[in-house]
Amino acid sequence: MTTNTYSLHHIHHDTTFGFNADDYSRFKFGDGAVSKDFGTALAEGFINDYLADNPISQQIVVISSPYSFIPTATFAMKDWFVYSLNHWLAGQGLPVVQETKVHRTITYKEDYGELNAEQRMNLIGNDQFHIDKVFLQGKTLIFLDDIRITGSHERMIMKMAKAYGLDNDIHMLYFAELINTDIHPNVENYLNYHQVKTIFDLEGIIKSIDFRINTRIVKYILNYSFDSFCVFIQNQSVQFTEQLYNMALGNGYHTIEAYAQNLNFIKKLLLLDNYKLIQYGN
């Protein structure tokens, strides 16, 4: 078993990153066009900087960051990473990518990006990650995530690998990595909210043809102040509102008190829309 870490961008300063911070902010809230750019760039970087000199002949399995029901932003980036990597693998006569999932059991309302290293480990340390060990036998694993700040998630992945007795070669891949340890980990939140300052900044992302729903946008909307949330949600399509509600239930957010008021409003809104449809048709 060998472990390799690769990051496309290395963050040394707290205001310059090597990539567009507004793009990153939109990506974290579901902008699929940026996900495509990021995933493609990460694949091309990994190919040029590593695979070109160290081709992997084993079957590769790509695994996005752990999630329960709602995918993370990384999941959308993963799709385009896989597409680009497959182009190269096929051209080399190598097996194209397989995929699997790391299941996680705990959901939380805290904003991970604003926490320091100790708080991050305290938050996720009791989480349980699960993976299909049998499916992975004899294969090379690529774990994908958007950004490495303190390494907490990476340690949880390696803890899982040890618990399952995985002897696979493992590559940990990130779009960006915080290298300068003098920078506070909450630089992640600076990036997350660089363009999305209020709930109304989500309008363009949600209405885009490339929108990809993820955990961050669902939690952000459900946790927003009620009055502004009501104005926002009543301006959204029924299709989006249904998707939001279904995703929230799937992740068990109806059991979190902080989300109850907004979630109940969505439920009533959908019931009203269904009533209107029955009464008046399309």
Encode pLDDT of 40-89 as tens digits. 999 999 999 999 999 999 999 999 999 999 999 999 999 999 999 999 99
CA distance 1 to 43: 23
Going by the DSSP 8-state scheme, the letter that residue 258 receives in this structure is G
Do 91 and 64 form a contact (C-beta atoms < 8 A)?
A: no
Residue 259 lies in a domain: no
What domain range includes position 61? Answer: 3-197
Residue 102 lies in a domain: yes
Residue 274 lies in a domain: no
Q: How many domains does the chain have?
A: 1
**CATH number for 144:** 3.40.50
Residue 134 lies in a domain: yes
Q: Is the pLDDT of residue 264 over 70?
A: yes
Question: How would residue 257 be classed by pLDDT, with cut points 50, 70 and 90?
Answer: very high
Residue 261 lies in a domain: no
Q: Measured between alpha carbons, how far apart are the two ends of the chain, in Å?
A: 59
Residue 39 lies in a domain: yes
Residue 55 lies in a domain: yes
Nearest CA to 169 out of 43, 56, 52 is that of 56
Crossing angle for the helix pair 21-28 and 73-91, nearest 10 degrees? Answer: 110
Tens-digit pLDDT profile for residues 102-155: 998 766 656 665 666 667 566 565 678 999 999 999 999 999 999 999 998 899
pTM: predicted TM-score of the whole model, two decimal places: 0.91
Q: Is the pLDDT of residue 272 over 50?
A: yes
Residue 34 lies in a domain: yes
Do 204 and 129 form a contact (C-beta atoms < 8 A)?
A: no
